[in-house]
Amino acid sequence: MDAFTKLTGVAAPMPMANVDTDKIIPARFLKTIKRTGLGVHLFDTLRYDAEGKERPEFVLNQGPYRKAEILIAHENFGCGSSREHAPWALLDFGIRCVIAPDFADIFHNNVFKNGILPIRLSREICDQLMEDAKQGDNARITIDLAEQVVVRPNGEKIPFEIDPFRKHLLLNGLDDIGQTLQHAPSIDSYESKQKAEKSWMPGISL
């Protein structure tokens, strides 16, 4: 998993509440277990019409937002089913941070595990950031995880809260497997000791 330290990029404004995981990635695209290739289907029913043509009014089909790395939305983002394909699709598109007043619990946990930073800010501040984002390439937003601030284009710093352990994992690019591998020396030592002391047990060999 790529580490998240500081991100400066284009933010896409999505003034929608209750964006569920089926909107993020429709169920028909859940047949794959690969984490790549889902970005093209991110918000599929919002991005494309019934013939597969882009809807020009949707934000990710417009100018600089095609390469957005930050998404700003309204309340209850990521509600609905618990599909992990939702963060996979966001990440494959290029989104590394989602800012909203609040998130569905399971989605909130899943994005952390995939290297995406969810930031909870008030509705009022989210609306201010959306106004900044409407300026496109002329108004990039910075997310500084170490300092725990969102920096607006005018230089104003907006603090945000994050669990210290999750912050540590993101800063160091550690997913569940990465966390386990941090203890590899202790695991190897334990296994060597078990083999030496209990070589008589089935399945243990020197």
**Cβ neighbours around 113 below 10 Å, total:** 15
**Tens digit of each residue's pLDDT (9 = 90 or more) over 47-88:** 999 999 999 999 999 999 999 999 999 999 999 998 999 999
* Model confidence, pTM: 0.87
Q: How far is CA 197 from CA 49, 131, 156, 176, in A?
A: 66, 66, 61, 30
- Residue 185: give the domain boundaries: 176-206
Statement to judge: residues 84 and 181 lie in one domain: no
- Residue 1 domain-assigned (yes or no): no
Please check whether residues 135 and 146 belong to one and the same domain: yes
Looking at the domain assignment, is residue 182 inside a domain?
yes
**One domain for residues 141 and 189:** no
Provide the 10 A C-beta neighbour count for residue 83. 20
Per-10-residue mean pLDDT for the chain, 206 residues long? Answer: 95 97 95 90 97 97 96 97 94 98 97 96 98 91 98 97 96 75 61 64 58
The total number of structural domains that make up the chain? 2
